[in-house]
């Protein structure tokens, strides 16, 4: 017995690493649920007992979980459901219907999906229903137990709730809320949305049937909590790994990492930009991906690198890849923007501007003829650094189509600084205030 433990104790490093990877990836990528949701205990409690009432005592309810993206709404809900299903009673009664606004794009599809999730396809068979309400009622009826007295509680989870509000006169929402109001069958309707103004989207008749119960999930932890969260996210629970020594070792390394000054600064920056879980996960994922057998721990350098990758300016990257000619055109556009305060322009004007520059310099290395310019211009459009004002491309010749520059002044200038072997005269031209 003790022998085996001893043998386990010395797994090769690679093995441990891969296991660590696996565990942490589950957390960071697959959004594995934590044992207890941190930061949202109150909401957790509230929602749990709300649902319990439906599941156990057969009360109807409706509630919205509102919060910005990545704040952990879904996590909260999932935790609650997990804990709810611990209960025997709930487990054997409760039926769940999960709908997602992204998938069920209209009520017909939604209804089919419901039927499926309630395993009633064969019951419904090929009946035709006059109205949506009829159909829904039929479903609920069908759920009644043998004795017609009480029926099983149903939990409707509507993810991306706001999208359901765009369905044709909100039939689904209306009916669900209606059922939840009238005591015909115990249902709980839980909407999850990231729009704080979601109630404005609801029609009056729908709104009136909604119990204005909202649970707000805004994770704004203090920086301390944020740091802690990072640490917990990265560190291993005891028992995750057979090799405890390595586990401890790992945790220690994480701890030291979080105490590092530079790391703290970096995290501070992230904290200021966004406090939610998702962005946090992304950052940590990037760190994790740099862990390998060669360096079996996350070093401050890794985290810094990762945060750099998060904060990188994509536009600058793309500008870096342009050819000199294209860069020149961009500069010309910038000048045009400065001149005519953001009026749209067409290729002719840009070319004209560029020509002015060439006349002033008079070295012949840049004088390309129209088609080459056109090609460059098209490439810029393809990269959507410039966009046509109106989408009717077929109507006008390409050289006259009005465009807008999608970059701002500073971006261009910075890109210019970073540009490899950028000719000085072009630089000066870009600097010069007059076109």
Partner 1 sequence: MSALLQHPGYEEERLQTVAKQLPCREVQAGMLLSLMGQPHQYSYPSIFIYGHQSSGKSHVLHVLLKELELPHATVSCVECVSVALLFEQVLLSFFGCVAASLLPRSPSLSDFVRIYRQQSSQSPAKQTRYIVMEKAELLRDSNANLLPALLRLQELVEDNVSVILLSEIVWDRFRPNTGCFEPLLLHFPDYSKGELQHILAQDRNPSYSDEFYSAYINILLGVFYSVCRDLRELRHLAALNFSKFCEPLAEGKVKETDTHKLWRNIEPHLKKAMQTVYLREVSSLQWEKMQQMEEKENGALRGLSAHTHVELPYYSKFLLIAAYLASFNPARTDKRFFVKHHGKIKKTNFLKKNEKTSNHLLGPKPFPLDRLLAIFYSVVDSRVAPTASIFSQISSLVTLQLLTQVSHSEQLDAPKYKCAVSMDFICAISRTVNFEIIKYLYDFL
Partner 2 sequence: MSTSSVSKGCFVFKPSAKKKKTLSLEDHFIHGCEGAEKSKTRFQLCQELWDQIKTDTELLQDELNRKILDSLLDFTRKCSSTRQHSDWASHMRASEIPTAALVLGVNVPDHDMTFQSLSELLQQSVTPHVASVQAKECVALKHLMKRVLERLLGTDVTVDDDDNEEEETEQTRANLHKSVHCSLSTLCDWYTTKTKKSVTPGKKRSSPVKDDLQQPPIVIIFKDLEAFNAKVLQDFILICSRYIERLPLMFIFGIATSPSTIQHMLPHSVSSLLCIELFQSLSCTQHLATVIDKLILTTWFPFKLNGKVMQVLISIFLYHDFSVRNFIKGVQLALLEHFHSQPLSVLCCRKKEAMLNVMQLGNHDLERIRQLPSFKRYVEKQEPQEQETLLKDDTHLKEVCQRLIKNLHKYHKNYYPTLRCLHTLTSSLPRYPLGKQIRELHLICLEKNVWENEEYHTAMKLLKMLAKDELISLLKKCVEILQHAKSKKIKRALLQLEAMLAKFKQLDTVATEPPPPAEESIISPVKNLQKKTDLFQLQKALLEMNESRRSKKLSPFEVLRNEALQFIDGLVQSHLSPPESQTLNEVCYYSSSATVRRHLNAAPRTSIQTALNSPFYYLQNDRLKTEDGTVSNAAPDICIVYKLHLECGRLINLFDWLEAFSTVVSAAEGNDPDSDSFGKVDDVKHARFIRAVSELEFLGFIKSTKQKTDHVARITWGGC
Q: From 192-200, 312-320, 342-350, 378-386, give the range in contact with partner 2 by CB under 8 A.
A: 378-386
Q: Which residues from 162-221 bind partner 1, rule CB under 8 A?
A: 162-163, 194-195
Task: Please select the residue that binds partner 2; options are 146, 239, 321, 371, rule is CB under 8 A.
Answer: 371
Choosing among partner 2, partner 1, none, which partner's interface includes residue 317 (Cβ < 5 to 8 Å by kind)?
partner 1
Task: Please select the residue that binds partner 2; options are 212, 375, 409, 418, rule is CB under 8 A.
Answer: 375
Choosing among partner 2, partner 1, none, which partner's interface includes residue 378 (Cβ < 5 to 8 Å by kind)?
partner 2
Q: Which residues from 394-423 bind partner 2, rule CB under 8 A?
A: 394, 397-398
Work out how close the CB of 421 gets to partner 1 at its nearest, in angstroms, rounded to a whole number: 9
Of 149 and 391, CB closest to partner 1? 391
Of 273 and 393, CB closest to partner 2? 393
Distance (Å, rounded) from C-alpha 148 to C-alpha 178?
21
Q: Which of 162, 189, 165 is nearest to 177 (CA)?
A: 189
Q: How many other CB atoms are there within 10 angstroms of residue 184's CB atom?
A: 14
**Encoded tokens for 200:** 């404005």
Q: What is the DSSP string of 305-373?
A: HHHHHHH--HHHHHHHTS-HHHHHHHHHHHHHHHHTTT--B-HHHHHHHHHHHHHHH--GGG---HHHH
359 binds partner 1, rule: CB under 8 A: no
Q: Which of 433, 431, 405, 415 is nearest to 327 (CA)?
A: 415
Going residue by residue from 25 to 64, which x/- string records binding to partner 1, judged by CB under 8 A? xx-xxxx---------------------------------
HSE of 89 in the Cβ direction (CA atoms, 13 Å)? 9
**Eight-class DSSP state of 151:** B
Q: Which residues from 397-426 bind partner 1, rule CB under 8 A?
A: 397, 399-400, 406, 420
Angstrom CA distances, 95 to 46, 89, 125, 148, stand at: 20, 12, 20, 17
45 binds partner 2, rule: CB under 8 A: no
323 binds partner 1, rule: CB under 8 A: yes
Task: Please select the residue that binds partner 2; options are 30, 362, 382, 424, rule is CB under 8 A.
Answer: 382
Q: From 120-128, 269-277, 346-354, 371-379, give the range in contact with partner 2 by CB under 8 A.
A: 371-379
Which long-range contacts link 230-236 to residues 24+ away (Cβ below 8 Å)? 230/258, 230/267, 230/280, 230/284, 231/255, 231/258, 232/34, 232/38, 233/24, 233/27, 233/28, 233/280, 233/281, 233/284, 234/24, 234/284, 234/287, 234/288, 234/298, 236/20, 236/23
17 binds partner 1, rule: CB under 8 A: yes
Of 19 and 60, CB closest to partner 1? 19
Of 69 and 245, CB closest to partner 1? 69
308 binds partner 1, rule: CB under 8 A: no
- Unique residue bearing structure tokens 């209960």: 87
Q: Which residues bind partner 2 (CB under 8 A)?
A: 371, 374-375, 378-379, 382, 393-394, 397-398
């Amino acid at each position: 017995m003790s022998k085996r433990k001893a043998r386990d104790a010395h797994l090769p490093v690679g093995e441990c690493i891969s296991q660590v990877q696996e565990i942490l990836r589950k957390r960071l990528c697959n959004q594995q649920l934590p044992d207890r949701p941190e930061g949202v205990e109150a909401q957790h409690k509230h929602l749990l007992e709300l649902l319990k009432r439906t599941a156990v005592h057969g009360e109807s309810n409706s509630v919205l979980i509102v919060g910005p993206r990545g704040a952990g709404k879904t996590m909260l809900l999932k935790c609650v459901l997990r804990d709810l299903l611990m209960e025997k009673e709930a487990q054997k009664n409760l039926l769940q219907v999960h709908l997602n606004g992204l998938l069920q794009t209209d009520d017909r599809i939604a209804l089919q999906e419901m039927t499926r999730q309630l395993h009633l396809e064969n019951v419904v068979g090929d009946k035709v229903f006059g109205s949506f309400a009829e159909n829904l009622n039929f479903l609920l009826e069908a759920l009644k137990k043998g004795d017609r007295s009480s029926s099983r509680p149903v939990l409707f989870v509507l993810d991306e709730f706001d999208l359901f509000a765009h369905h044709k006169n909100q039939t689904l929402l209306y009916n669900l809320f209606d059922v939840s109001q009238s005591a015909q069958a115990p249902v709980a309707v839980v909407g999850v949305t990231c729009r704080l103004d979601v109630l404005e989207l609801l029609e009056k008749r729908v709104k009136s049937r909604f119990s204005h119960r909202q649970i707000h999930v805004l994770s704004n932890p203090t920086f301390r909590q944020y740091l802690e969260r990072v640490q917990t996210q990265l560190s291993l629970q005891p028992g995750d790994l057979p090799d405890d020594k390595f586990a401890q070792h790992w945790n220690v390394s994480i701890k030291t990492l979080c105490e590092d000054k530079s790391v703290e600064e970096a995290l501070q920056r992230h904290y200021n930009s966004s406090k939610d879980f998702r962005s946090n996960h992304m950052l940590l994922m990037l760190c994790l991906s740099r862990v390998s057998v060669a360096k079996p721990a996350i070093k401050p350098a890794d985290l810094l690198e990762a945060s750099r990758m998060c904060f990188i300016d994509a536009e600058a990257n793309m500008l870096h890849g342009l050819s000199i000619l294209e860069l020149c055109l961009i500069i010309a556009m910038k000048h045009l923007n400065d001149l005519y305060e953001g009026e749209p322009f067409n290729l002719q004007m840009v070319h004209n501007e560029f020509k002015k520059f060439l006349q002033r310099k008079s070295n012949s290395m840049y004088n390309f003829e129209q088609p080459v310019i056109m090609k460059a211009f098209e490439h810029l459009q393809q990269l959507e650094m410039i966009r046509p004002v109106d989408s009717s491309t077929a109507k006008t010749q390409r050289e006259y189509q009005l465009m807008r520059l999608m970059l701002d002044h500073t971006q261009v200038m910075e890109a210019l600084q970073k540009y490899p072997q950028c000719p000085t005269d072009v630089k000066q031209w870009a600097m010069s205030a007059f076109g």
